[in-house]
Amino acid sequence: MPILELRAITKRYPGVVALHDVSFGIEAGEVHALVGENGAGKSTLVKMLAGAIRPDAGTILYEERPVVFWEPQDAIRVGISTIHQELHLAPHLTAGENIFLGRYPRTRRGTIDWPRLYREAEIVVARLGIALDVHRKVQQLSIAQRQIVEIAKALVFESKILILDEPSAVLGRQDLHLLFGVLNALKEQGTTILYISHRLDEIFEIADRVTVLRDGRHVGTHSIRDITVVGLMQMMTGRSLEELWPARRHEIGEVVLEVRNLRRGNAFRDVSLQVRAGEIVGLAGKVGSGRTEVARTIFGADPLDGGEIRVFGRSVSINSPNDAVRCGIGLVPEDRKTQGLLLNRPLRENISLANLGRFIRGGFIRVGQEARAVRDLVRMLNIRATGLSQLVQYLSGGNQQKAVLAKWLNSECRIFIFDEPTRGIDVGAKVELYGLMERLAAEGRAILMISSEISEILGMADRIIVMKAGAIAGMLTRHEATENRLAFEALIEG
């Protein structure tokens, strides 16, 4: 018997149908995942269940009775709490105060009963199965701990259904497991959880069932046991398997990038690896295993303490990103907004930045030549923008990432380092990026790809290097990793 059921829900906005005839049910006590690309209608649905908006047509049944939420308080009152991406906590107050914010227990004289508040806060937190000092100020807590405070706050309302809107978007993998522990504890106590995400790997760790939305329509609801990551991606994008991972056309050639005994402080030591022309090497490992640090050091963004970097067989000294760029290395960094893009500058300037020299004659930039070259790249990568002067901050995540890639294509670099190339972009754009990476490899460029998504590593890499605690823990071919997937995952996690 579903605790919550949507029947033929439709929501229109001017010019767009956000939800079209969507029907599905959420069973009491399950963890139900809701996935879909940007624009699929997830946020609209969440807003509806949180009481922020109302459907134009259709019915919401809660415990088999039709309900209408006129305002957020209505949803909370019947027992539906929503944890939004932006947390609503007072940073200067303690965790305990935040949990009871606005509902402080009182003494008989009307003052706040602090001992009781903290006692009860501890009880609530204990129900979540984690250790958290409720006397600490929220600003001193990690993002994951803050989310847990929000969840604890919801528990005070005796919520029967907890909706989490993309909680993982702001969490590292370690923190994610902390959150999952809490969700499992809640599930055992009978709370129903609706979990929204576009990271597919994690859906399989936490969800019992999954509902897929695409373009505002309900594509399907399945038990997690009946479906695979790739199957989900297909449902989300509407593409077939052949269209998901690019056909491999690249041929592996000579060694282009070689690193010997690279070492840097406490970050990593004794790292040796090779990347050949036309080869995609995956660098796997947990966050903090030293993957990103190795990439940054090869690129000259962080200083190295020892070891040798060879490019095309020649030993090179790379002390700054400028040196790396001159050696033909390009880095597509982990966080495109803070490291990859000039957000308030036009697309054209972003793309030409790493190799302006190409367009300079007699000391001056030939603006026409620049615009032509940039326009070609924008067409080639299918970057959707209103024009070359559009500020990159107004592009979607996928198009922003393609702009970073275009920058390195303009600089004609031979070695690409991708750090989490598809983080935070929707599946359709992911597929496009995979196709572009394959194309780069087919053109004989060497690619080193860091990724936390196992399916991505297995889908793209020819060889996989696993890092653990600052050292290389193993190297295997894609075939070996696919055949022994469990052992491979254990190598990463263990």
Residue 378 host element (H or E): helix 367-380
Number of residues near other proteins (by CB under 8 A): 63
Residue type, 475: M
What angle do helix axes 143-156 and 114-127 make, rounded to 10 degrees? 110
Interacting stretch for other proteins, rule CB under 8 A, among 124-132, 191-199, 282-290, 385-393?
385-393
Query: Binders of other proteins among 166-225, rule CB under 8 A?
Result: 214, 219-220, 222
Nearer Cβ to other proteins, position 109 or 361? 361
Q: Which of 274, 339, 369, 396 binds other proteins (CB under 8 A)?
A: 339
CA dist., res. 4 & res. 19, Å (int):
17
- Asked whether the beta carbons of 55 and 47 are under 8 A apart, the reply is no
Q: Minimum Å distance from CB 174 to other proteins? A: 24
Q: Would you say 124 and 99 are in contact if contact means Cβ atoms under 8 Å apart?
A: yes
Binding flag, residue 234, other proteins (CB under 8 A): yes
Q: Which is nearer to other proteins, 113 or 349 (CB)?
A: 349
Alpha helices in 33-113, H assignment, sequence order = 42-49, 72-78, 95-99
The answer to whether 342 contacts other proteins (rule: CB under 8 A) is yes
Q: Which long-range contacts (CB under 8 A, 24 or more apart) does 269-274 make?
A: 269/470, 269/471, 270/471, 270/472, 271/307, 271/467, 271/471, 271/472, 272/472, 273/448, 273/465, 273/472, 273/475
Query: Which range, of 189-197, 264-272, 344-352, 473-481, touches other proteins by CB under 8 A?
Result: 344-352
Let me know: does 437 contact 247? Beta carbons within 8 Å: no
When the beta carbons of 78 and 342 are compared against other proteins, the nearer one is 342
Q: Is 324 in the site for other proteins (CB under 8 A)?
A: yes
Query: Rounded distance, CA 395 to CA 38, Å?
Result: 13
**Strand bridging mode 306-311 / 255-264:** antiparallel
Nearer to other proteins, 189 or 393 (CB): 393
The answer to whether residue 354 forms part of the interface with other proteins (CB under 8 A) is yes
Query: Which of 14, 247, 313, 364 is in the footprint of other proteins by CB under 8 A?
Result: 364
Smallest gap, in angstroms, from Cβ of residue 126 to other proteins? 41
Two tokens at 364?
Answer: 């001056």
Binding-site member from 390, 439, 442, 474 for other proteins (CB under 8 A) = 390
**Residues forming the site for other proteins (CB under 8 A):** 214, 219-220, 222, 226-228, 231, 234-235, 237-240, 243, 299, 301, 320-322, 324-326, 331, 333, 338-346, 349, 352-354, 356-357, 360, 363-365, 367-368, 371, 375, 378-379, 382-391, 407, 411, 428
